[in-house]
Amino acid sequence: MTTSVGVRERIAIRAEQEIESGYYVNLGIGMPTLVANYIQSDKQVVLQSENGLLGIGPYPTENKVDPDLINAGKETVTAIPGSSYFNSAESFAMIRGGHIDLAILGGMEVSETGDLANWMIPGKMIKGMGGAMDLVHGAKKIVVIMEHVSKNGEPKIVKSCSLPLTGKAVVNRIITDRAVIDVTKEGLLLVEVLEGFTVEDIISSTGAKLIVSENLV
């Protein structure tokens, strides 16, 4: 993986590998929206936004900005040919009906059993819980992307979450700036160590027990 881009971009580039041609994908607010910039042109992918757009295109250039065309994070976007517009009720029916193949979400904490906390920090001002609570139960696969440790150096992958939960046992895979970890019935499985880090680095910066895969990349 290239080191010429920032940490968030490195994570987004690795997360793009989770997207397969033919997928309907929801990208969460924040870092996950960056993944759209790196989807390979040979992949036939449809991006869905819970505010009512199916067929999101790339971010607009300055002369193409339409203030009425936004994603769930209030960012201006474009729409690809054949895209569809609909209300939020229909959008959430799509999510709850199991029609989203993959949701890539941000995270504040993920537990060893796949619990996800990503919607609020107690005492901090929030706009609302958003669509994550529906996505973690409606999408077929949940991938969480985040930095491995907090700004204070504390692990974000923990034995049990201390922050309010978005969902229990909902995460399938975690991608950080240091590693790729799968949530399995046996525990957290370290499947990939990213450039610049070692297995020991990952173990020491993770707040839960890790099983090292025999096929570690």
The model's pLDDT over 155-207, given as tens digits with 9 standing for 90+, comes to 999 999 999 999 999 999 999 999 999 999 999 999 999 999 999 999 999 99
Q: Is 62 a catalytic residue?
A: no
Q: What is the mean pLDDT of residues 5-15?
A: 94
CB 111, CB 208: distance < 8 Å: yes
pLDDT of 1 reads: 43
Distance of CA 187 to the CA centre of its chain: 20
Assign 4 a pLDDT band (cuts: 50, 70, 90): low
Q: Give CA–CA dist 50/53, Å, rounded.
A: 7
CATH of 7-179, one of 3.40.1080.10, 1.10.1370.40, 3.40.50.150, 3.20.20.150: 3.40.1080.10
pLDDT of 128 reads: 66
Q: What is the mean pLDDT of residues 74-95?
A: 92
Listed by start position, the domains of the chain span: 7-179
**Which of the following is catalytic: 16, 18, 50, 109?**
50
For residue 2, pLDDT over 60 is answered with: no
DSSP secondary structure letter of residue 112: T
For residue 146, give both structure tokens.
């985040």
The model's pLDDT over 23-68, given as tens digits with 9 standing for 90+, comes to 999 999 889 999 998 999 999 999 999 889 999 988 888 998 999 8
Question: What are the CA-CA distances from residue 7 to residues 12, 20, 34, 124 (Å)?
Answer: 9, 23, 12, 25
Residue % of the chain over a pLDDT of 70: 96
Single-letter amino acid code for the residue at 137: H
Measured in residues, the chain has a length of 217
For residue 140, give both structure tokens.
């077929």
pLDDT of 215 reads: 94
For residue 140, pLDDT over 50 is answered with: yes
pLDDT of 3 reads: 46
